[in-house]
Chain A
Amino acid sequence: MTAILELLNVSRLFRQGSVEVAALSEVSLSVARGELVAVMGPSGSGKSTLLNIAGGLDWPTSGTVFVDGTDLGGLSAAELAGLRRGSLGYVFQELNLVRSLTAAENVALPLELDGRSARESRAEAIESLRVVGMADQVDRFPDEMSGGEQQRVAIARGLVGTRRLLLADEPTGALDSAAGEEIVSLLRRRCDAGCAALLVTHEARYAGWADRVVYLRDGAVVERASVSPDDDL
């Protein structure tokens, strides 16, 4: 199995006044091509910190992060930004859709920022919207859509181009369970098609779609509460 994401002994310390608090301590984790890995744990257990570090949005105090075999710690700011735009897709609870742009324009934005032509970007955006079942809504604005539809546009933006690693932090947000389930099944299908994804969720129902569940408590992986595919029922 090719690991698309690999974290080796990652720790992240934050200074709170005079004390250092470990948001993550010695976390090792790898996500292979085709795999959907869910991260669960109580609030404050380090789930979001883990995701941010995996996506190069935050840095470990110690330890190494590899994306597609590249050590993120060895990259310049420009190289990291390039990798973020090219290989990583993010879906957050806050959708951050631009309200004055249509669905297609929102999805095309990261490609255009990457210097791709407007026509090419739009074609890829439309393809990505098709994948999430929004082919007939490419020219609508976020305010004209339901919460679930906006979420799908945000996912299309996370998927657009040739992204190989998807990072999703509570992507089902405030959606009802039917709409939330649709979002997670979409991530599942992307993984089945060859992506890798890390899904932070506090809802067991969504973790049920994952190949593996990593349970965090106080910044560390709790093996006893985690589930690997080798475990038998």
Chain B
Amino acid sequence: MSVRYGLLGLLRLAPAHGYQLRTDLVDVTGATWPLNIGQVYSTLQRLERDGLIEADDADPADGPERRRYRITQKGISDLDGWLAEAVPHENGPRSELVIKVAIAMSVPGTDVRSVLDAQRATTLMVLQQLTKTKRAADGKLAALAVEWMVLGAEAEIRWLDLCEAQLTKAESRGSR
């Protein structure tokens, strides 16, 4: 879904070939979002089939890599509709981490802090990597995309802190 509208949005700016669109989309959303060229071409083919984009006088026999696409009127109104609509919030309650910590806290004899510690170190390393990427993208649109991931990692670590605080509280109640 996001690739579809990302491509449509870029074509709203100017007609382009698939490989250029891929480069531009990675630039805008940060290099941390892998996007392979095959996915770009297959999405472009679907957009063309749906009449949202069309190829500049291309030979119908040409593959998608030879075609230069432009957005159609129908594509513009589809894009406008998408921009106007809110994206449903993604955080489901069934994250593996949430389940793991809940189980760790329920199963007697589990070293919960060790579970939290391993996760903390892992997520901190991700955060270090993201911070490097963010520094490199300073001032560019991609920095905002990276910041979104930084906030996600930050939220996870705060949540781990919260779990530990809860654990400490439960232990001090238990020992009294």
Most chain A beta-carbon contacts within 10 A, residue among B126, B129, B135, B154 = B154
Interface string of A198-218 (1 = CB under 8 A from B): 000011110111100101010
Check if B126 sits within 8 Å of A215, measured CB to CB: no
Give A203 Cβ to nearest chain B Cβ, in Å. 8
Given contacts A224-B114, A233-B129, contact A204 B158 (CB under 8 A): yes
Check if A204 sits within 8 Å of B125, measured CB to CB: no
Contacting chain A: which of B41-49, B90-98, B160-168?
Answer: B160-168
Contact residues, A177-233 vs B (CB, 8 A): 185, 202-205, 207-210, 213, 215, 217, 222, 224-227, 231, 233
A69 at the B interface (CB under 8 A): no
A73 at the B interface (CB under 8 A): no
B130 at the A interface (CB under 8 A): yes
Give A19 Cβ to nearest chain B Cβ, in Å. 16
B105 at the A interface (CB under 8 A): no
Most chain A beta-carbon contacts within 10 A, residue among B121, B130, B158 = B121
Q: Which one, B125, B154, B161, B164, contacts A227 given CB within 8 A?
A: B125
Check if A227 sits within 8 Å of B128, measured CB to CB: yes
Most chain A beta-carbon contacts within 10 A, residue among B131, B150, B154 = B131
State the CA gap A161–B121 with chains docked (Å): 36
Question: How many chain A residues have a CB neighbour from B under 8 Å?
Answer: 20
A74 at the B interface (CB under 8 A): no
Give A192 Cβ to nearest chain B Cβ, in Å. 10
A82 at the B interface (CB under 8 A): no
Q: Which one, A204, A215, A217, contacts B127 given CB within 8 A?
A: A204
Residue in chain A with minimal CB distance to B120: A225
Q: List, in ascending order, chain A residues with CB within 8 A of B153's CB.
A: 204, 208
Check if B125 sits within 8 Å of A233, measured CB to CB: yes
Q: List, in ascending order, chain B residues with CB within 8 A of A207's CB.
A: 124, 127
Q: Which one, B120, B126, B168, contacts A233 given CB within 8 A?
A: B126
Residue in chain B with minimal CB distance to A232: B125
B11 at the A interface (CB under 8 A): no
Q: Which one, A202, A217, A231, contacts B121 given CB within 8 A?
A: A231
Given contacts A42-B161, A42-B168, A204-B158, contact A226 B127 (CB under 8 A): no
State the CA gap A205–B148 with chains docked (Å): 12
Given contacts A42-B165, A222-B117, contact A205 B124 (CB under 8 A): no
Q: List, in ascending order, chain A residues with CB within 8 A of B124's CB.
A: 204, 207-208, 213, 227
State the CA gap A185–B131 with chains docked (Å): 10
Q: List, in ascending order, chain A residues with CB within 8 A of B114's CB.
A: 224
B157 at the A interface (CB under 8 A): yes
Q: List, in ascending order, chain B residues with CB within 8 A of A203's CB.
A: 154
State the CA gap A203–B117 with chains docked (Å): 15
State the CA gap A148–B123 with chains docked (Å): 28
State the CA gap A217–B120 with chains docked (Å): 13
B118 at the A interface (CB under 8 A): yes
Q: List, in ascending order, chain A residues with CB within 8 A of B168's CB.
A: 42
Check if B121 sits within 8 Å of A208, measured CB to CB: no
Q: List, in ascending order, chain A residues with CB within 8 A of B161's CB.
A: 42, 202
Check if B117 sits within 8 Å of A208, measured CB to CB: no
State the CA gap A233–B133 with chains docked (Å): 14
Check if B125 sits within 8 Å of A224, measured CB to CB: no
